[in-house]
Amino acid sequence: SLQKMPYLRGLIKESERLYPVLMVALRVLDKDAVLSGYHVPAKTRVMNLMYLMLRDETIFEEAEKIKPERWIRSSSSSSQRNPFSFTPFGFGPRMCIGRRIAELEMELLIARLVSEFRIECRNEEEVGLTFRLVGSPDRDIRLAFHQRHL
C-alpha cells in the first residue's frame, strides 16, 4: 500500500524540488501588492525563479542535500514550511488538474520498478540540468534494469 511508503513520496518530492520541470513561474498582478517590502502596482509582470527558491537555504535547510524525510508529515521541518515554498504543479485556479493522477502514477511506477528490478545508473558523469522551456537532463540518462529473483 502506498500509504505505508511515505519515504517514497518524500523521495519523489525531493526529486521535484531539486530538478523542477518549471524553472520560472510568470504572473501578472491583478491588484497592487507588497512584495518583500516593495510596492508593486497592478498589471506588473512578476517572476518566481522556482529553481533558485527551491535551493534556498533560508527556505530549505541543507537545500542541496537529498532529504526525503523533510516531506514526511511527522517531521518538524514539514510543519514549519510555508505551503507556497513548493508548488511543482502550481496552485490556485491555474493548478494542474492532473496533479493527483501524476503523483499516484509516479508512486506506483517507482514502487513496482524497485520491487521487480535492481536499477543501475550507467552514466559515467553526473547528469546535469539544462534550462529550456522546461528543465530537462543535459544528457541521456542511462539505466540498466536487472530482474530481481523473488
Write out pLDDT tens, residues 116-133. 999 999 999 999 999 887
Between CA 134 and CA 89 the distance in angstroms is 13
Q: Sign of dihedral through CA atoms 52, 126, 64, 85?
A: positive
Contact call for residues 54 and 63 (beta carbons, < 8 A): yes
Tell me the three state secondary structure of residue 78: helix
Residue 90: the pLDDT is: 83
pTM for the structure as a whole: 0.83
Write the single-letter amino acid at 111.
A
Contact call for residues 51 and 135 (beta carbons, < 8 A): yes
Contact call for residues 99 and 106 (beta carbons, < 8 A): no
% of the chain exceeding 90 in pLDDT: 65
